[in-house]
């Protein structure tokens, strides 16, 4: 209620100011040296409870990465090759780039491809859990971040989506609608606590979590 009263007050103040036809020039000539309150928009994000770095809130967690300029990028790695464990990952990256995705050619050979930044675009990664739930219809994407050899730092923001229902009776596995006698389940069912336990026990660079639940 308080915020709607504040919004009404602000609307009334803006209308009152507008009707004076004073404008910015009038303010300056009147000796106003600070920005009047009516020009200060309420913080639209003030009521959103952001999680601390790396801490998961049910179903979602957000992480921001900062990659400083590296003087010897060929001697290290930004993030080692891995697949994301969750369902989907949404990534916003700046123009510096550095993300690479592993592409497997028809002859079986594989190589790394730059995921070049596109202004305003979000990049969506399929995670291990979606591979399991889709019974391999969608494959989780192996990716890595090479060290930054540019002259400016790289910044990215990532939101991981995983199921929020994590009770002892909430089971996950291939979706029943995708299973048939021609397409039997390739994975057993499990709870989120078993899935996350398996993930945290493994090395980030491993894809063992998919193998762990394979039938
Ligand atoms: Fe990742």
In a domain, 184, yes or no: yes
Looking at the fold, whether 7 and 77 belong to one and the same domain comes out as no
Report which of 77, 54, 139 is spatially closest to residue 104, judged by C-alpha positions.
139
Determine, yes or no, domain membership for 109. yes
The residue with tokens 């994000």 is: 45
Domain span holding position 26 = 2-39
Residue 81 belongs to a domain with what CATH number? 2.60.120.330
Residue 165: predicted pLDDT: 84
**Cα(122)–Cα(125) distance, integer angstroms:** 10
Q: 48 lies in a domain?
A: no
Distance between Cα 42 and ligand 1 center (Å):
34
Residue 48: what pLDDT? 41
Distance between Cα 84 and ligand 1 center (Å): 5
Residue 99 lies in a domain: yes
Is residue 81 located within the same domain as residue 182? yes
Q: How far is the CA of 134 from the centre of ligand 1 (A)?
A: 19
Number of compact structural domains in the chain: 2
pLDDT of 47 reads: 44
Could you tell me if residue 78 is inside a domain?
Answer: yes
How many A from CA of 135 to the centre of ligand 1? 21
Write out the chain's pLDDT in tens, 215 residues. 445 565 567 677 767 766 665 555 566 667 766 666 666 655 444 444 444 444 445 678 888 888 878 777 777 777 888 999 999 999 998 888 889 999 988 898 999 999 999 988 999 999 999 999 999 999 999 999 887 666 788 889 999 998 888 889 999 999 999 999 999 999 999 999 999 888 888 776 666 788 889 99
Q: Give 3 Cα–ligand 1 centroid separation in angstroms.
A: 39
Q: How far apart are CA 126 and CA 141, in angstroms?
A: 6
The verdict on residue 53 lying in a domain is no
Within-domain flag for 16? yes
For residues 68 and 165, membership in a common domain is answered with yes
Query: What letter would DSSP give residue 162?
Result: -
- H helix or E strand, kind and range, residue 4: helix 2-20
Q: Supply the pTM of this predicted model.
A: 0.68
Q: Which of 47, 46, 37, 43 is nearest to 12 (CA)?
A: 37
Q: Do 89 and 131 contact (CB within 8 A), yes or no?
A: no
């Amino acid at each position: 209620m308080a915020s709607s009263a504040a919004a009404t007050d602000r609307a009334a103040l803006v209308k009152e100011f507008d009707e004076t036809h004073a404008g910015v020039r009038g303010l300056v000539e009147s000796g106003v040296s600070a920005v009047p309150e009516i020009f200060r928009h309420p913080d639209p994000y003030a009521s959103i409870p952001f999680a601390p770095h790396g801490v998961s809130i049910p179903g979602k967690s957000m992480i921001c990465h900062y990659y400083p300029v590296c003087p010897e990028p060929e001697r290290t790695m930004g993030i080692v090759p891995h697949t994301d464990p969750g369902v989907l990952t949404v990534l916003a990256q700046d123009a510096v780039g550095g993300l690479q995705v592993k592409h497997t050619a028809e002859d079986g050979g594989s190589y790394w491809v730059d995921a070049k930044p596109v202004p305003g675009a979000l990049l969506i990664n399929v995670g291990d859990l979606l591979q399991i739930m889709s019974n391999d219809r969608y494959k989780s994407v192996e990716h890595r971040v090479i060290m930054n050899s540019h002259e400016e730092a790289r910044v990215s923001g990532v939101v991981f989506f995983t199921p929020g229902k994590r009770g002892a009776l909430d089971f996950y596995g291939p979706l029943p609608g995708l299973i048939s006698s021609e397409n039997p389940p390739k994975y057993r069912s499990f709870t989120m606590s078993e899935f996350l336990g398996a993930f945290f026990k493994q090395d980030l660079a491993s894809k063992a979590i998919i193998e762990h639940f394979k039938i």
